[in-house]
A and B are shown apart, each in its own frame.
Chain A
Amino acid sequence: EVQLVESGGGLVQPGGSLRLSCAASGFTFSSYWMHWVRQAPGKGLMWVSRVNSDGSNTIYADSVKGRLTISRDNAKNTLYLQMNSLRTEDTAVYYCGRESCSGGNCYFHHWGQGTLVTVSS
């Protein structure tokens, strides 16, 4: 069974840093591209970032570029999101998602349960 378990969320002051983790199990982690998606309280889903299977290629939403860094450790089956220079608008539940592709279409068939990041003084 595919499992994605996020951790590392919490309360942080504006300008602070936090590192989120997503522990993967039940599949060959090193074969899949992985993503972070966030959801501010009462708001919709917002894609944050993607990393390819070996970690050599990353891409970010414009609103987080330069402040958030996605990475992975395939030996530990873990995805990370390093969050620096945090702003109040970064307050959200952060989900990790496994990218699955079929017929040229890629989507999220598996999501973690999410971890809440609150940026507040």
Chain B
Amino acid sequence: SYELTQPPSVSVSPGQTATITCSGDQLWDKFICWYQQKPGQSPVLVIYEHTKRPSGIPERFSGSKSGNTATLTITGTQAVDEADYYCQAWDSGKVVFGGGTKLTVL
């Protein structure tokens, strides 16, 4: 079955740039989106179509893709951004999530 690979954890200092990667076979040919999930809450879409932000998502969130790796970038990371982040793609009509990355802001 198709897999998306994310680093289990990423740490960043407040105000710095956080980058979270998501890799998978033939990812160059797939759309990627990203979700943020805080403890006890439902996931929130932060990036879709690789680079687009839904309304209400701060500009500091951006997405990109190069080859088989997609990247979520948070510029000027704030304490409120501490959360789990998941990438998501489709394969053979099924939804696939990455394993998730815990972002720690310290």
Decide: A105 and B31 in contact? CB cutoff 8 A.
Answer: yes
Decide: A44 and B100 in contact? CB cutoff 8 A.
Answer: yes
Q: Contacts A47-B96, A109-B54, A111-B43 known; A62 to B1 CB distance under 8 Å? A: yes
**Whole-angstrom CA separation of A104 from B52 in the bound complex:** 13
Decide: A102 and B43 in contact? CB cutoff 8 A.
Answer: no
- Contact mask for chain A residues 17-44; partner B; CB cutoff 8 A; 1 contact, 0 none: 0000000000000000001010000001
A75 within 8 A of B: no
Q: Contacts A44-B100, A112-B42 known; A105 to B33 CB distance under 8 Å? A: yes
**Whole-angstrom CA separation of A45 from B43 in the bound complex:** 9
Contacts of B83 in A (CB 8 A): none
Contacts of A106 in B (CB 8 A): 31, 90
Contacts of A35 in B (CB 8 A): 95
Q: Contacts A62-B1, A102-B48, A114-B42 known; A108 to B35 CB distance under 8 Å? A: yes
Decide: B42 and A104 in contact? CB cutoff 8 A.
Answer: no
Contacts of B44 in A (CB 8 A): 111
Nearest B residue (CB) for A57: B93
Decide: B43 and A105 in contact? CB cutoff 8 A.
Answer: no
Decide: B88 and A107 in contact? CB cutoff 8 A.
Answer: yes
Query: Which of B82-102 touch A at CB < 8 Å?
Result: 84, 86, 88, 90, 93-100
Query: Which of B49-106 touch A at CB < 8 Å?
Result: 49-50, 52, 54, 84, 86, 88, 90, 93-100
6 examples of A-B residue contacts, CB within 8 angstroms: A35-B95, A44-B86, A44-B98, A102-B52, A107-B48, A114-B42
Which B residues lie at the A interface, using CB under 8 A? 1, 31, 33, 35, 37, 42-45, 48-50, 52, 54, 84, 86, 88, 90, 93-100
Which A residues lie at the B interface, using CB under 8 A? 35, 37, 44-47, 50, 59, 61-62, 95, 102-109, 111-114
